[in-house]
Amino acid sequence: MRPKLVVGNWKMNGSRANNASLLAGIVDGLGKGKGKAQAAVCVPAPYLQQCADTLAGSELAWGAQDVSVHASGAYTGEVAASMLTDFGCRYVIVGHSERRAYHGETDQQVAQKALAALNAGLTPIVCVGETLDQREAGQTNVVVNKQLSAVLELLDGDAATRIVVAYEPVWAIGTGKTATPAMAQEVHAELRSQLRARSLEAGEKVAILYGGSMKPDNAAELMAQADIDGGLIGGAALKAADFLAIIDAAKAAA
């Protein structure tokens, strides 16, 4: 059985003062309640030092929301994977649909980012997902398979076993519209079979998270699905009580 993982994606939200109380609230609540689940927050890069200062030694891991494909050099504004490990990051999100849509990131660039992260010892959280038009055209599986294949093709050996995949239907992000558990499970099963085709170990080990309006009131049902190993949470990760309630649902489903 894969351990459940709940990751908060703060997106471009936060301030030092708000982060301090949010992080303290999460860490405090994590120690309570029964069961086990892994938890992490992916914060804006300027707040990584604050995470390193306040979360070291706690059960809450932290990470970033993007990474450069380059190791170092004249790339103004970019952040290298080695810099993220320097700040104690365990995770980095790559290929979030907001980066694909607003920054034109291609499947190939996302794959290079995943590789750069792995080479630096980070776990990339590879986001895949279809738009509403693509879903309505019956293209969901084709789209997510293509997005994941680009990453798998670039990874050698057992590197594919060290990624996390997040299925985030674009139409469900920040809209309050959630994929039904059955709809999400169908796509997760498809992604699982793609991973299994790569290697039995990848199929077994890789966590596939669901993201897109996951909230305390729908988390349990989603995480009860066989191939949903946790969540990538946007809006509900900005309130300690909501984020903790989702982590509790993950613990109960573990």
Ligand X SMILES: O=C[C@H](O)COP(=O)(O)O
Nearer to ligand X, 69 or 233 (CB): 233
Interface with ligand X includes 232 (CB under 6 A)?
A: yes
Residues sharing a CB contact under 8 Å with residue 214, sequence separation 6 or more, in sequence order: 178, 222, 231, 232, 233, 236, 246
Nearer to ligand X, 99 or 198 (CB): 99
Nearer to ligand X, 200 or 241 (CB): 241
Nearer to ligand X, 67 or 233 (CB): 233
CA–CA distance, 239 with 77 (Å, rounded to integer) = 29
CA–CA distance, 213 with 103 (Å, rounded to integer) = 22
9 annotated as belonging to a binding site for a ligand: yes
**Minimum distance from CB of 9 to ligand X (Å)?**
3
Question: How many residues does the structure list for the chain?
Answer: 254
Q: From the candidates 96, 98, 188, 190, give the one annotated as an active-site residue.
A: 96
Binding-residue pattern over the window 173 to 212 for ligand X, x denoting contact by CB under 6 A: xx------------------------------------xx
CB 40 within 8 A of CB 91: yes
145 annotated as belonging to a binding site for a ligand: no
149 annotated as belonging to a binding site for a ligand: no
**Minimum distance from CB of 211 to ligand X (Å)?**
4
**Looking only at residues 93 through 132 of this chain, which bind ligand X when binding is defined by CB under 6 A?**
96
19 annotated as belonging to a binding site for a ligand: no
For residue 85, how many other CB atoms are within 10 A of its CB? 15
Interface with ligand X includes 14 (CB under 6 A)?
A: no
What's the burial of 241, exposed, middle or buried (CB within 10 Å: 0-12/13-18/19+)? exposed
**Minimum distance from CB of 41 to ligand X (Å)?**
11
168 is known as an active-site residue:
yes
70 is known as an active-site residue:
no
What's the burial of 233, exposed, middle or buried (CB within 10 Å: 0-12/13-18/19+)? buried
Choose, by CB under 6 A, the member of 67, 214, 247, 250 that binds ligand X: 214
203 annotated as belonging to a binding site for a ligand: no
Phi, psi of 72 (to 5 degrees): -175, 170
What's the burial of 221, exposed, middle or buried (CB within 10 Å: 0-12/13-18/19+)? middle
CB 43 within 8 A of CB 92: no
Q: Which residues are annotated as a binding site for substrate?
A: 9-11, 174, 213, 234-235
- The residues assigned a catalytic role are 96, 168
**Which spans of this chain sit near ligand X (rule: CB under 6 A)?**
9, 96, 168, 173-174, 211-214, 232-236
